[in-house]
Amino acid sequence: MVVFPNAKINLGLNILSKRPDGFHDIATVFYPVQWSDGLEAVEAASLKLDTSGLAIDGLATENLCWKAWQLLRQDMDLPPVHMHLHKVIPMGAGLGGGSSDAAFVIRLFNEKFKLGLDVATMERYAGALGSDCPFFIRNKPAYATGTGDLLNEIDLDLSAYVIILVYPGIHIPTKEAYQGIVPRQRDISIREIIGQPVTEWKGVLVNDFEPVVFEKHPGLAGLKEALYVEGAIYVAMSGSGATVFGIFPSTTSSEALKQRFTAEEHMVFVQTPRSWN
């Protein structure tokens, strides 16, 4: 069985408070995009994970796909599998690629081995692997709070727009991104802002990581400005970086956009207007 774990972008990200456990309470909107990995799983004599595409650091046993199988195996009689992960979504880019891979493993095994897990149970397992893993179980636009694990589906459809994602190859550790952040509550929530037209988001829908990250990596601020110069309606960094995305009118030439930013040796993905299924 083959599945295609997709990425997400963050539409706004507010860091509200620091928790006693050392993590932070946030508010954001997760929105799925089509930039996808490929994942295949077949029954085998022993558990195995191999990869292709982008190089993945670390041992196979440290990969979230491996850990997802182990997590399910604790409670269910899962047979060993041979998993092959073709990595396309860049890692450490604020796109949730690793979390998506893990969530899709749970979904895949649930279907393949007829485990009978409902959505809430799959989300619980996913939450044990990472804060944004549960989002990829339903894989629909959601307002996220807590550490990103408390999800409320929202009615948000950006299928009428061209969305370009540009990853300049800069890895920003989450710990580094949080340095200099001062959590604070907001008068207007991201959920309220998202309810306004996309044309009203600029300057209002913000990612709190941007000032800190842009100071250390000024090229990202330049990239954001370049996307606005090209005609974007709204531009932001996703998560703690370093992918920057722009939302453009449907009449925008997606091929011209891709050529413009690929020429600068960035990794570029363009999502053309469509409905998300």
Using the predicted structure, report yes or no on whether residue 80 has a pLDDT greater than 80. yes
pLDDT at res. 111: 96
Neighbouring-strand partners of residue 247: 163, 234
Tell me, yes or no, whether 127 and 223 share the same domain. Answer: no
Claim to verify: residue 249 and residue 166 sit in the same structural domain? yes
Residues 20 and 129 occupy one common structural domain: yes
Domain that holds residue 188: 162-271
* pLDDT, position 277: 47
For residue 88, the model assigns a pLDDT of 97
Strands of the sheet with 234-237, listed across from one edge: 234-237, 244-248, 162-167, 267-271
- Locus of tokens 């009449």: 251
The CATH number for 22's domain is: 3.30.230.10
Asked if residue 11 and residue 85 are part of one domain, the reply reads yes
Q: What is the tally of structural domains in the chain? A: 2
Active-site annotation, residues: 8, 132
| DSSP H stretches of helix in 205-270 | 209-216, 218-229, 254-262
- Give the tens place of pLDDT for each residue, 41-55: 999 999 999 999 999
276 is a domain residue: no
- In this structure, which amino acid lies at residue 237? M
What's the confidence (pLDDT) of residue 7? 98
- Whether 80 and 171 map to the same domain: the answer is no
User: pLDDT tens digits for 138-188?
Assistant: 999 999 999 999 999 999 999 999 999 999 998 888 888 888 888 999 999
Phi, psi of 250 (to 5 degrees): -65, -20
